[in-house]
Amino acid sequence: MNTKSHHNNIKLHINQQDQWAIDADLGLPSVMPVVDGVVIWIMCAQPSCFSKYPEVSENTRNMRGKSIWDSLHTMMEAKCALKWLMEQTISSRADMSKAQAELKDSLCDHHDNNQQIEMLEKEMAEIKKRKDEEITLLQVQHEDKVGYI
């Protein structure tokens, strides 16, 4: 049996079935809440992405009573799935940031357009007032001319 020691108290070895195994006294149950928390967070953040990898959820549930390292193949699948999910999350975050920036720009443009509209409406009101005054003046002048005739 080959044994490799990683860190102080972690020992990996190859068992009779040529699979990687890990010593049972590592306190691995303390790792499971973290794994469950990450999986739950990913499920909440990206449920559509997580549905494409249901085996990750199944493998996580099946690991409770067993050693995490029973199957290197399963762990590699889970690692690949988590990596893919993280990439999807990062991509979604980038898309969301881009959309938020575009929304902010649109809101600024909308605000600027509203200010310009208000300014033009004030200018139109002033022009209308001046033209109404001119019309009134012309009417008075016309009445004066008609009154003289």
12: which 2 tokens? 């990996």
pLDDT in tens, the chain (149 residues): 444 444 444 444 444 444 444 334 444 444 455 555 666 666 565 555 545 555 555 555 555 445 555 555 677 788 888 899 999 999 999 999 999 999 999 999 999 999 999 999 999 999 999 999 999 999 999 998 888 77
Confidence at residue 148, expressed as pLDDT on a 0 to 100 scale? 79
CB 8 within 8 A of CB 14: no
* Domain range list for the chain: 3-95
- Closest Cα to residue 18, out of 86, 90, 73? 73
pTM above 0.85, yes or no: no
